[in-house]
Amino acid sequence: MRVLGIETSCDETGVAVYDSEQGLLAQALHSQVARHAEYGGVVPELASRDHLAKLAPMVEQVLKAADTRAEALDAIAYTAGPGLVGALLVGACYATGLARALDKPAIPVHHMEAHLLAPMLEADAPDYPFVALLVSGGHSMLVDVAAVGRYEVIGTTLDDAAGEAFDKTAKLLGLPYPGGPALSALAEQGTATRFALPRPMLNRPGLDFSFSGLKTAVLMVVRELQGVAGDQPPRPGATLSDQDRADVAASFQAAIVETLTRKCERALEQTGRERLVVAGGVGANSALRAALAQACDRRGARVYYPRPEYCTDNGAMIALAGVLRAESGGRGLPIGAAPRWPLGTPLPERRKRVA
Ligand code: KG4
Ligand code: ZN
């Protein structure tokens, strides 16, 4: 089976062709990071327009690189949610239109399901069952994965996502958007023990996360270093020395890494699973990778990651999720997109969708 995958949920246009026998045949990725950088975050309307401009030529380019005619595809998979509604609709309308023209099925893919299946793109893919830690800019969750399509969300964030916490802290330190990779590079120059930051939710039972308290604690530290009064706004990066910024970055990263690692250990213990899959943009963080590898080693468990470019948004994971879904009987031809769509549930009814 050969599937075209289309990702347009946020600020990356991703297109790929995956073949169940031959693996990934071709892929292309266009990042809009430069377009949004001057605004310090993703501007939804600009994102939709850029997807619209890039998608059709990218599909043409990928089909050519895969040496595949559109008629030879078995299905078109697209990210149907969750994400920015306008951005989702560009991909949904294009994919379902193409599917209708070709008289092939369109497969709506859950963006977080695609993230958690991304390690299956690798030669050394995990067997089921496993626990997945999904940590991206919009989501932080722990999922017990029994098999393709059998997901139980066992922990989630009560406020900010892990990537969001990285991005906001980075902004506070005057680092460019998106802040995660920049903050993690800066952290390497710093001393993680200089500031005692909270390890959110570790003293409470359960697998949920909360990062807003950590964000506030970092803000207090930065204000103090800047000598800014309590009722004044902080000045991003302004009066901090390079060493101060690096030490804040390192202390913040250590707090978030320890929190995520302990929650993963708890999730493995609670479910009795022996495999941990880490996916989503924050999964590219090397300190997190090292800590999880150590924690899993201690328990005799194994940790699996997709390579960094499959951790962040891409078309390959959507094409692969489409193949795995279709093979397990999950076809359908809904048109539309659901900006809110709980993992492990069917695509919401049309009245709850936007089209
Ligand atoms: O999965 P993703 O590409 O997009 C979403 O679906 O959100 O994740 C993007 C997030 C951003 O918040 C970005 O700052 C973060 O992942 N990120 C990182 C790293 N690389 C990307 N955070 C920490 N360390 C990194 N190396
Ligand atoms: Zn994502």
**Ligand 1 pocket test, candidate residues 84, 133, 157, 166, most atoms within 8 A of CB:** 166
Note whether 348 and 336 are within 8 A (CB). Answer: no
Ligand nearest to the CA of 42: 1
Is the minimum distance from the CB of 284 to ligand 1 under 6 angstroms?
Answer: yes
pLDDT score, position 109: 94
Is the minimum distance from the CB of 285 to ligand 1 under 6 angstroms?
Answer: yes
pLDDT score, position 288: 96
| DSSP class of 312 | S
pLDDT score, position 333: 45
Q: Which numbered atom of ligand 1 lies nearest the CA of 253? A: 23
**Ligand 1 pocket test, candidate residues 282, 286, 292, most atoms within 8 A of CB:** 282
C-alpha 112/C-alpha 321 separation (Å) is: 10
Q: What is the mean pLDDT of each run of 10 residues along the chain (355 residues)?
A: 97 96 97 84 90 97 98 96 94 95 94 94 95 92 94 94 93 89 96 91 85 91 83 71 96 96 96 96 93 96 92 96 86 66 80 58
Q: Which numbered atom of ligand 1 lies nearest the CA of 279? A: 1
pLDDT score, position 198: 87
Note whether 122 and 307 are within 8 A (CB). Answer: yes
Give Dmax (Cα) for the chain.
65
Q: Which two tokens stand for residue 52?
A: 């619209």
**Ligand 1 pocket test, candidate residues 134, 136, 167, 343, most atoms within 8 A of CB:** 136
C-alpha 80/C-alpha 82 separation (Å) is: 7
Note whether 318 and 77 are within 8 A (CB). Answer: yes
Q: Which numbered atom of ligand 1 lies nearest the CA of 311? A: 1
Is the minimum distance from the CB of 81 to ligand 1 under 6 angstroms?
Answer: no
Is the minimum distance from the CB of 5 to ligand 1 under 6 angstroms?
Answer: no
Note whether 240 and 222 are within 8 A (CB). Answer: yes
pLDDT score, position 355: 55
Distance (Å) of CA 17 to CA 12, 28, 101, 318, 324: 17, 10, 18, 9, 13
pLDDT score, position 348: 80
pLDDT score, position 188: 96
Is the minimum distance from the CB of 41 to ligand 1 under 6 angstroms?
Answer: no
Quickly list DSSP for 234-264: P-TTTT--HHHHHHHHHHHHHHHHHHHHHHH
C-alpha 133/C-alpha 109 separation (Å) is: 19
